[in-house]
């Protein structure tokens, strides 16, 4: 409608979804009778608020804060908080919309939500981050709860931020551990949560590889980003015998066809929030270029976009095909633009949509909610075993929908159809109110 004509990211996500589920709508008019689509694309609630804080120079700064509580048919709202200057209501609505279906695919009781702020954490001191989190949470506290809306991290929000946010909540409401997930393990976060999205992505990729009787051994893998998802995806690729040939950040790409040094990436980006351009080159073949990894010609078998939305456009998708890529699995949310996805489909490569392949993070977040409610903490091995089972089940659901609707290996459509049917059924059961 006219009211969201400017929400380009949100409309992009909704349009792709509606296109995929058209076959389901056409075969059964129950969905229309219950106005399911109209209700599904409208958030149950959006909270927007002002976040005033004082920087280290005693200047007052104002940011916008948001929480989109999109759909609770499948349980308490669940989804991360993003702190990045590109955050708008449209971005958070698209992320929360995707989250509804992703969460449903995990088979765990979590609804869809997302939130965050246009605050830019880059270059801010620890005290500034704490003051910002304090102010953000003074407001958000009114709208979240361990059985109601449970945020976690996303771009720009890691364990440090989550600890400050939870600390503020605790001061105001008391020590309800389960109100955030992704907490450090000594504050009863789940073991394995930090690694879960990246590892889960590779477990999903492995399921796709198995379809063609292949494995990661010896495969060349392009990865974008060098944050939480990118780093742990890279680590698992390496562990399973693949070769990570590139990683990047918003300014630069480092690449080497023989493999890049993940310990150096960890020291640089994960431990110190430094820049890829400062990666220490110890040989002659490693290169750094100040452009996106998708603009560099690299021969590879697999591409894992793990940075942000719309990082791969049509031309960049064509470059991947030209350079031999046969598998794309999305670690980030909606990293491939619609016309890029078209290129993948036309080239008939194996393509895993983020809402299926990056669901491992939120799945382990839901396991963190279970652990907090139980007052127990499970072992890393136990959590990883469950994560592997969940990613397999997500793949099976996508595959089953592909079979039911004769979609070949269009897992993107499969994921949309399988999750749509589950959420729609719940909405119909719950009635109109």
The string of DSSP codes covering 135-152 is HHHHHHGGG-BTTTEEEE
CB nearer ligand NDP, residue 110 or residue 155: 155
Binding span for ligand NDP by CB under 6 A among 16-24, 131-139, 209-217, 329-337: 329-337
Q: Is 307 in the site for ligand NDP (CB under 6 A)?
A: yes
CA distance 151 to 369: 11
Residue 251 beta carbon to ligand NDP: minimum distance, rounded to whole angstroms? 6
Listed in sequence order, the DSSP H helices in 215-270 are: 228-239, 262-265
Contact 219, 301 (CB under 8 A): yes
Select the residue interacting with ligand NDP from 156, 192, 340, 414 (CB under 6 A). Answer: 156
Q: Which stretch binds ligand NDP (CB under 6 A): 280-288, 330-338, 344-352, 423-431?
A: 330-338
Cβ neighbors of 57 (< 8 A, separation 6 or more) are none
Identified binder of ligand NDP from the candidate list 63, 190, 308, 372, rule CB under 6 A:
308
Dist CA 429 CA 426 (whole Å) = 5
Task: Tally Cβ neighbours within 10 Å of residue 283.
Answer: 8
Segment interacting with ligand NDP, rule: CB under 6 A, options 61-69, 103-111, 149-157, 390-398: 149-157
Closer CB to ligand NDP, 4 or 250, in the complex: 250
Specify the residue, 358 or 419, whose C-beta has the smaller distance to ligand NDP: 358
Q: Give the interface segment with ligand NDP, choosing from 150-158, 163-171, 233-241, 392-400 (CB under 6 A).
A: 150-158
Total Cβ atoms within 10 A of residue 200: 32
Within 10 Å of residue 290's Cβ, how many Cβ atoms?
Answer: 9
Active site residues: 114
Minimal distance, residue 234 CB to ligand NDP, in Å: 11
CA dihedral 255, 261, 266, 267 (to 10 degrees): -110
**CA–CA dist 333, 91 (Å, integer):** 10
Quote the DSSP letter at residue 4. G
Interacting residue with ligand NDP among 108, 155, 202, 216 (CB under 6 A): 155
Query: Is residue 227 involved in binding ligand NDP (CB under 6 A)?
Result: yes
Residue 225 interacting with ligand NDP (CB under 6 A): yes
Answer for which of 202, 325, 332, 367 binds ligand NDP (CB under 6 A) is 332
Cα-Cα end-to-end distance for the chain: 23
Task: From 7-15, 147-155, 283-291, 342-350, give the range in contact with ligand NDP by CB under 6 A.
Answer: 147-155
Closest CA to 298 of 310, 286, 309: 286
- Residue from 117, 246, 286, 358 in contact with ligand NDP (CB under 6 A): 358
* SS3 label, residue 300: coil
Sheet-wide strand order for 111-117: 45-54, 60-71, 111-117, 77-83, 149-152
Distance of alpha carbon 130 from alpha carbon 168, whole angstroms: 10
Q: Is the dihedral of CA 69, 70, 72, 74 positive or negative?
A: negative
Range 17-36, binding ligand NDP (CB under 6 A): none
Q: Figure out which of the listed residues 153, 178, 242, 259 binds ligand NDP, where binding follows CB under 6 A.
A: 153
> Which of residues 24 and 63 has its CB atom nearest to ligand NDP in the complex?
63
Among 249, 261, 384, 410, binds ligand NDP (CB under 6 A): 249
319 has which bridge partners?
none
Give the residue with the Cβ less far from ligand NDP, 24 or 307: 307
Strands 287-289 and 253-255: what pairing?
antiparallel
Q: Which span (40-48, 139-147, 225-233, 376-384) binds ligand NDP, by CB under 6 A?
A: 225-233
Number of residues engaging ligand NDP in binding (CB under 6 A)? 23
**Which residue, 306 or 352, has its beta carbon nearer to ligand NDP?**
306
In whole angstroms, the minimum distance from the beta carbon of 82 to ligand NDP comes to 7
331: contact with ligand NDP by CB under 6 A: yes
Query: Which residue of the chain is nearest ligand NDP when measured via CB?
Result: 227
132 contacts: CB under 8 Å, gap ≥ 6: 51, 53, 63, 83, 117, 119, 121, 124
Q: What is the contact mask toward ligand NDP in residues 80 to 99, using x (rule: CB under 6 A)?
A: ------x-------------
Structure-block tokens of residue 267: 């020291």
Binding site for ligand NDP (CB under 6 A): 86, 153-156, 197, 225-230, 249-251, 306-308, 331-333, 358, 361
């Amino acid at each position: 409608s006219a009211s969201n004509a400017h929400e380009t990211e949100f409309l992009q996500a909704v349009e792709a979804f509606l296109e995929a589920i058209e076959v389901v709508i056409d075969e059964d008019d129950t969905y229309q009778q219950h106005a399911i689509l109209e209700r599904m694309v409208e958030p149950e609630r959006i909270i927007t608020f002002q976040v005033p804080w004082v920087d280290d120079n005693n200047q007052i700064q104002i940011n916008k804060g948001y929480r989109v509580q999109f759909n609770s048919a499948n349980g308490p709202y669940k989804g991360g908080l993003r702190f990045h200057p590109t955050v708008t209501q449209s971005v958070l609505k698209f992320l929360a919309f995707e989250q509804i279906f992703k969460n449903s695919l995990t088979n765990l009781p979590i609804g869809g939500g997302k939130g965050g702020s246009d605050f830019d954490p880059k270059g801010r001191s620890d005290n500034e981050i704490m003051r910002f989190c304090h102010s953000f949470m003074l407001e958000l506290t009114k709208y979240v709860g361990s059985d109601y809306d449970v945020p976690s991290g996303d771009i720009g929000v890691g364990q440090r931020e989550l600890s400050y946010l939870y600390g503020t909540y605790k001061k105001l409401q008391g020590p309800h551990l389960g109100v955030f997930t992704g907490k450090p393990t000594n504050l009863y976060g789940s073991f394995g949560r930090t690694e879960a999205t990246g590892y889960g992505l590779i477990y999903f990729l492995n399921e796709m590889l198995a379809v063609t009787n292949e494995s990661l051994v010896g495969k060349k893998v392009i990865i974008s980003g060098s944050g939480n998802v990118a780093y742990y995806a890279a680590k698992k690729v390496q562990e399973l015998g693949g070769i990570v040939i590139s990683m990047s950040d918003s300014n630069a790409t480092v690449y080497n066809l023989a493999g890049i040094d993940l310990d150096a990436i960890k020291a640089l980006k994960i431990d110190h929030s430094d820049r890829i351009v400062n990666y220490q080159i110890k040989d002659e073949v490693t290169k750094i270029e100040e452009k996106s990894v998708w603009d560099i010609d690299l021969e590879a078998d697999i591409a894992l976009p793990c940075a942000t939305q719309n990082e791969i456009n049509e031309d960049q998708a064509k470059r991947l095909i030209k350079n031999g890529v046969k598998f794309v699995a999305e670690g980030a949310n909606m990293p491939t633009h619609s016309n890029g996805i078209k290129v993948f489909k036309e080239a008939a490569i194996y393509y895993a949509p983020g809402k299926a392949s990056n669901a491992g993070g939120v799945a382990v977040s839901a396991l963190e909610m279970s652990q907090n409610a139980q007052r127990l903490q499970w072992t890393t091995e136990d959590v990883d075993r469950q994560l592997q089972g969940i990613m397999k089940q997500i793949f099976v659901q996508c595959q089953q929908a592909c079979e039911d609707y004769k979609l070949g290996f269009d897992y993107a459509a499969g994921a949309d159809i399988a999750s749509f049917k589950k959420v729609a059924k719940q909405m119909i059961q719950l009635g109109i109110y």
